[in-house]
Amino acid sequence: MSKSTISNSVIRRLPRYYRFLGELEHNGYIRISSRELSEKMGLTASQIRQDFNCFGEFGQQGYGYNVSDLRFEIGKILGLDTLTPMILLGAGNLGKAIATHIDFHNKGFDLIGAFDVNPDIIGKDLGGLKVKSIEEVGTFCAENKPVAAILCVPMTSAEKLVNTLIECGIKAFWNFTHYDLKVLHKGIVVENVHLGDSLTTLSYGLNNLESNNK
């Protein structure tokens, strides 16, 4: 199956498989069947086999899956065997939390630069990086060739900044703004994170708890 025909829902399940297999490996599991994995993850065994078959034959009939090998292969599919250079735009409270609490190396990225417009933040240490002025981003990109960027800036600043970053060679955005990059910019990869949307989805689930349990 070509990568272009693999559904987004399958791709979005891969990180969960990777994380869960890591927990199994940590707990001493050597192998596991699709049925056992389905019981632990709340998916069907058929769904798990279909998902894995999108990328190749990983299991053996009568044996199941080698936990370590399967996790390694999923990691390669996710691109975790290489480190992509990444920069952070917006080193305020949200940016600081992301820079200091995310294990980028285990997620396939190397955070190499952080930028802000606030003179009170510029020059400060952020997870081992010295925050630079946003005015330096062009020079920094020319010298260090980052490919991905984290956006933690106000929506009003995002459009102009994204244009600059794309011109600097940025091809992927982890977007915490409400600016819709994919509408105006083609040929880039975007992962939008709307924390408010997630919270309101939680509210819906809570308010429909009784009907969901019927």
Q: Do 40 and 20 contact (CB within 8 A), yes or no?
A: yes
Domain ranges in the chain are 3-77, 84-197
Q: 15-26: string of b/e by CB count within 10 Å (b at 16+)?
A: eebbebbbebee
**pTM score of the predicted model:** 0.87
- Token readout for 9 is 């829902």
Which architecture does CATH list for 3-77?
A: Orthogonal Bundle (1.10)
pLDDT at 82 over 90: yes
Same fold, 3-77 and 84-197: no
pLDDT digits 0-9 by tens, 116-172: 999 999 999 998 999 999 999 999 999 999 999 999 999 888 888 999 999 999 999
Q: Do 71 and 25 contact (CB within 8 A), yes or no?
A: yes
H runs (alpha helix) in the chain: 8-26, 34-41, 45-53, 67-77, 93-101, 137-144, 155-167, 181-184, 195-207, 209-212
What CATH number was assigned to the domain covering residues 84-197?
3.40.50.720
Nearest CA to 153 out of 92, 196, 110 is that of 92
